[in-house]
Amino acid sequence: KQASLAADFSINQFSYLTRLLFVHGRDCYKRTASLSQFIIHRGLLFCVIQAIFCSVFYFATTSIFPGYLLVGYITIFTMFPVFSLVLDKDVPAEIALIYPELYKELVKGRSLSFKTFFLWVFISVYQGSAIMYGALMLFDDDFIHIVSITFTALILTELLMVALTIRTWHTLMVVGEFLSFTCYVLSIVIFQSHFDIRFLESWSFIWRVVTITSISCLPLYILKYMQTKCKPPIHEKLTQYSTPK
């Protein structure tokens, strides 16, 4: 009893360990892996864009985005969707308790490994290159336009990547996606000196952003869809098998 009182937490029955490990422990591991890799992706994506921008403009030590956009990108523009990944889960608790091999799969460390790390690095390099080179190819005479196109495509890419990663949608996830994009739109209204409002309202801006965002996200979605159909993960197999027909 004294040891129980001195501990940070205590478990009254051994039967409680089943749900603690197979459900909560597994979900915590999977969510932490997704969250950490997305934070790496978010930072590396901007670094790739900045590196390409500096190399194209003769390695000038100039930031492509104003300071407040960088702060907003790290915080309110992307924070809510990324951290909403802590609510994601791949299988219901009932299936996780019935099939303990789902927990055994975590021992192999496939959710967070060197392979997944370099995969996210490759995704970041590809998407950063697609956004920056796409903006340069579609660049017109005014430099403020390339900032608007690049940063808007960057925000949309990050929000779409979170949406593509989510396996079970939660209400707060939808709210986070909507709230982040709304904050970005409000920042455009507040800081009009850094944006050309007429250009943002034109079709010239819209089709450029849609094209660049599609190039950065659509191939990844197609590859993920093909992989899911050709080689579905074990949790999807068990979910389909356990779903009553």
Among the listed residues 73, 55, 57, 77, the one whose alpha carbon sits nearest the alpha carbon of residue 65: 73
Q: Give the model's pLDDT for residue 158.
A: 92
Measured in degrees and rounded to the nearest 5, phi and psi for residue 217 equal -110, -35
Measured in degrees and rounded to the nearest 5, phi and psi for residue 199 equal -70, -40
User: How large is the average pLDDT for residues 80-91?
Assistant: 87
Please report whether residue 53 resides in a domain: yes
- Inter-residue long-range contacts of 190-199, CB under 8 Å, 24+ positions, other chains counted: 191/66, 191/68, 194/66, 194/68, 194/69, 194/144, 194/147, 195/144, 195/148, 196/142, 196/144, 196/145, 196/148, 199/142, 199/144, 199/145, 199/148
Return d(Cα 244, Cα 29) in angstroms, integer: 28
pLDDT, tens digit, 9 for 90 and up, residues 89-145: 888 888 888 877 777 777 777 788 888 899 999 999 999 999 999 888 877 566 668
State the distance between the two ends of the chain, measured CA to CA, in whole angstroms.
Answer: 49
Please report whether residue 5 resides in a domain: no
Q: Give the model's pLDDT for residue 142.
A: 62
Q: Say which residue, 196 or 47, is predicted with more confidence.
A: 47
pLDDT, tens digit, 9 for 90 and up, residues 146-189: 888 899 999 999 999 999 888 888 899 999 999 999 999 998 88
Q: Count structural domains, the chain.
A: 1
Q: Give the model's pLDDT for residue 67.
A: 84
Instruction: Calculate the average pLDDT of the chain.
Output: 84
What range defines the domain where residue 34 resides?
A: 26-242
- DSSP result, 34-99: HHHHHHHHHHHHHHHHHHHHHHHTTT----SS-HHHHHHHHTTTTHHHHHGGGG--SS-HHHHHH-
Please report whether residue 164 resides in a domain: yes
pLDDT, tens digit, 9 for 90 and up, residues 17-34: 888 888 888 888 888 988
Tokens of 11: 């478990």
Q: Give the model's pLDDT for residue 193.
A: 75
Sorted by sequence, the CB contacts under 8 Å of residue 82 that are 6+ apart come out as 35, 38, 39, 42, 158, 162
Would the pLDDT of 14 be above 70?
yes
- 18 and 97 in contact (C-beta within 8 Å)? yes
Please report whether residue 175 resides in a domain: yes
Please report whether residue 142 resides in a domain: yes
Q: Give the model's pLDDT for residue 243.
A: 58
User: How large is the average pLDDT for residues 37-44?
Assistant: 91
pLDDT, tens digit, 9 for 90 and up, residues 207-244: 989 999 999 999 999 988 888 888 777 767 666 666 55
Please report whether residue 69 resides in a domain: yes
Sign of the four-CA dihedral 146, 151, 156, 158: positive
Q: Say which residue, 103 or 73, is predicted with more confidence.
A: 73
Please report whether residue 1 resides in a domain: no
Please report whether residue 207 resides in a domain: yes
Would the pLDDT of 2 be above 70?
no
- 211 and 131 in contact (C-beta within 8 Å)? no
Among the listed residues 156, 152, 145, the one whose alpha carbon sits nearest the alpha carbon of residue 195: 145
